């Protein structure tokens, strides 16, 4: 079943609700923009001009989390159009009496009021005036895109206009699959490296290895190309072919491959069974594939008779709201509140409860977060923390407490619009501080070679851990590991090491008891 939204007399398909992290808001009232002196700038208001702009302004008016401040919106649009013209002789000046668009020979004053339709009519006058001033250097479409970009940027850091390519990439990321070869790539020392290959992918079956270096794609050298260009060349329609030449440093030899692209499922869940019946679950994002991949991991964990979990949500920027709810559901009592969202109106509240009946809520769990854990990752961490079962270890999370909805526009582009705020089960808005861990671990082991940065990190550490119950430094944990053979772990990661030492000594899902164990372990580390 599809939901259709009616706005500015156009039908919009069902929105894709997503929590797109790292990519807040203000209360405002509608306002208008009245321009007094544009001569003959009306042009044809019955043409197809500015259809996209009207479509977007309709969506913002209907669905934005707060009542839009039209004064701010239209100033943002006009300012962006002026920037797009790159004409030093045209500028927008804001004054207490209004705004004025200045050119080398004229000055137009603008008076603001509080009516959207009147504001839109005045905006059109400004649009046609600037289009005329561009003298053909900028097309109607380019000027309109600038106006929409300025409109969206004026709302909040997460509301954005997306051209067709960006929109399709956003949809692909939330789908969790794409047509390609199944490699994670990274640019290091101006060379494109293979970070890893994805299981059951063409790249893995061909024998491509981690740290292989790209030399050619389809017979062409790739020097001086950006990573985005190269990723675009590797992806494509399923069943199409691409040839690669890669250099393998360990063999000091080039290898050539001709691979056929396939639909590749992005691995968002990595699972590993550790010693002492500890299960490690790393979730890198929340796509449509995440819950299915987690179910596979939990099936393996059950076979291995896991007695405790480490759920690693570090560097997880978020993803789909529905997936965060499903992931959290595995570790909670059925029907427990996971998160609720609140839109512009009081009636725009929606609660999301745990969906599954299972026994994992009785297994102890430690959750790892850092400053890059955002949105959907914060929902999972907040829900499991508020349940009284999970202990949070790491750093304060990013603090993104808003929900974005992706809308496709009629010309194939799209917008990402903030449509609600979300709150943890106890009603916490995490925007200001993020999720605060009970055990805060400063990553000073990364900064140990820089005394200046290390001192800055110490200050930030003390500021951000004011509400954490336990405070440790990464170097303290590493020193403890080095001095205690029983605690030696195959990881240079002190946060993970602390979590593993802790979960090995916890037998019941009870935060108070887990916290007491953490305090005892921290006391030994400090000692």
* pLDDT at residue 86 greater than cutoff 90: no
Residue 414 placed within a domain: no
- Say if CB 400 and CB 375 are below 8 A apart: yes
Mean pLDDT, the chain, as a whole number? 83
- Told to judge if 386 belongs to the known catalytic residues of this protein, a careful annotator would answer yes
pLDDT at 491: 59
Q: DSSP E strands: which ranges in 410-473?
A: 414-423, 439-442, 470-473
pLDDT at 109: 61
Catalytic residue among 49, 212, 312, 386: 386
Query: Of 219, 249, 265, at which residue does a domain stop?
Result: 265
Residue 325 placed within a domain: yes
Cα-based distances in Å from 402 to 249, 372, 428: 45, 15, 12
Domain co-membership, 279 together with 386? yes
Domain co-membership, 328 together with 448? yes
Domain co-membership, 318 together with 397? yes
Q: DSSP E strands: which ranges in 202-307?
A: 213-217, 220-221, 241-248, 253-260, 262-265, 269-274, 278-283
pLDDT tier, 177 (very low <50, low <70, confident <90, very high otherwise):
confident
Residue 16 placed within a domain: no
Catalytic residue among 160, 400, 471, 500: 400
- Told to judge if 375 belongs to the known catalytic residues of this protein, a careful annotator would answer yes
Q: Please give the distance of CA 394 from its chain centroid, rounded to a whole number.
A: 19
Residue 498: enclosing H or E segment and its boundaries?
helix 494-503
Residue 479, domain CATH: 3.90.226.10
% of the chain beyond a pLDDT of 70 = 81
What are 249-276's pLDDT values in tens digits?
999 999 999 999 999 888 899 999 999 9
Domain co-membership, 52 together with 106? yes
Domain co-membership, 327 together with 351? yes
Residue 507 placed within a domain: yes
What are 291-301's pLDDT values in tens digits?
999 999 999 99
Q: Please give the Cα distance from 127 to 125 (Å, whole number).
A: 5
- Told to judge if 400 belongs to the known catalytic residues of this protein, a careful annotator would answer yes
Domain co-membership, 295 together with 223? no
Domain co-membership, 342 together with 475? yes
* pLDDT at residue 407 greater than cutoff 80: yes
State which residues form the domain around 362. Answer: 269-405+421-526
Residue 168 placed within a domain: no
How many domains are there within the chain?
Answer: 3
Residue 172 placed within a domain: no
* pLDDT at residue 23 greater than cutoff 90: no
In angstroms, how far is the first alpha carbon of the chain from the final one?
Answer: 61
Catalytic residue among 100, 201, 329, 375: 375
């Amino acid at each position: 079943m599809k939901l259709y939204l009616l706005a500015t007399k156009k039908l919009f398909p069902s929105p894709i609700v997503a929590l797109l992290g790292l990519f807040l808001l203000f209360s405002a009232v509608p306002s208008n923009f009245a321009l007094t002196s544009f001569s003959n700038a009306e042009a044809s208001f019955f043409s197809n001009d500015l259809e996209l702009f009207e479509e977007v302004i309709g969506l913002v008016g209907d669905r934005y989390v707060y009542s839009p401040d039209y004064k701010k919106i239209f100033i943002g649009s006009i300012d962006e159009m002026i920037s797009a013209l790159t004409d030093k002789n045209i500028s927008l000046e804001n004054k207490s009496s209004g705004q004025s668009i200045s050119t080398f020979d004229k000055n137009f004053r603008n008076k603001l009021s509080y009516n959207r339709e009147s504001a839109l009519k005045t905006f059109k006058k400004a649009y046609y005036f600037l289009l005329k001033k561009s003298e053909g250097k900028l097309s109607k479409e380019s000027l309109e895109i600038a106006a929409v970009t300025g409109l969206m940027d004026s709302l909040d850091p997460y509301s954005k206009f997306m051209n067709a390519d960006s929109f399709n990439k956003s949809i692909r990321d939330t789908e969790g699959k794409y047509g390609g070869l199944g490699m994670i790539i990274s640019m290091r020392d101006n060379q494109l490296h293979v970070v890893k290959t994805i299981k059951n992918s063409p790249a893995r079956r061909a024998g491509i290895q981690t740290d292989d270096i790209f030399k050619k794609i389809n017979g062409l050298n790739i020097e001086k190309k950006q990573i985005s260009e190269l990723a675009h060349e590797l992806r494509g329609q399923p069943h199409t072919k691409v040839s690669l030449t890669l250099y393998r440093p360990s063999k000091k030899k080039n290898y050539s491959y001709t691979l056929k692209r396939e639909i590749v499922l992005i691995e968002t869940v990595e699972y590993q069974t550790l010693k002492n019946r500890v299960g490690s679950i790393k979730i890198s994002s929340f796509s449509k594939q995440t819950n299915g991949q987690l179910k596979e991991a939990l099936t393996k964990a059950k076979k291995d008779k896991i007695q405790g979990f480490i759920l690693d949500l570090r560097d997880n920027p978020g993803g789909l709201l529905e997936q965060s709810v499903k992931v959290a559901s595995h570790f909670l009592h059925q029907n427990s509140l996971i998160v609720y969202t609140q839109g512009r109106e009081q009636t725009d509240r929606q609660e999301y409860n745990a969906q599954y009946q299972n026994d994992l809520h009785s297994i102890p769990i430690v959750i790892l977060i850092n400053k890059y854990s955002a949105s959907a990752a914060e929902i999972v961490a907040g829900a499991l923390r508020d349940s009284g079962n999970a202990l949070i270890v790491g750093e304060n999370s990013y603090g993104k407490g808003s929900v974005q909805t992706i809308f496709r526009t009629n010309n194939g582009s799209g917008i990402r619009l903030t449509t609600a705020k979300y709150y943890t089960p106890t009603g916490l808005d995490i925007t200001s501080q993020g999720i605060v861990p009970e055990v805060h671990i400063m990553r000073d082991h990364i900064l140990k070679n820089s005394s200046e940065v290390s001192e800055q990190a110490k200050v930030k550490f003390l500021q951000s851990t004011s509400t954490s119950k336990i405070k440790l430094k990464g170097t303290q944990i590493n020193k403890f590991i080095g001095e205690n053979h029983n605690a030696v772990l195959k990881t240079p990661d002190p946060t993970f090491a602390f979590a593993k030492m802790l979960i090995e000594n916890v037998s019941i899902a009870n935060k108070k008891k887990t916290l007491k164990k953490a305090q005892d372990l921290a006391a030994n580390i400090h000692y």
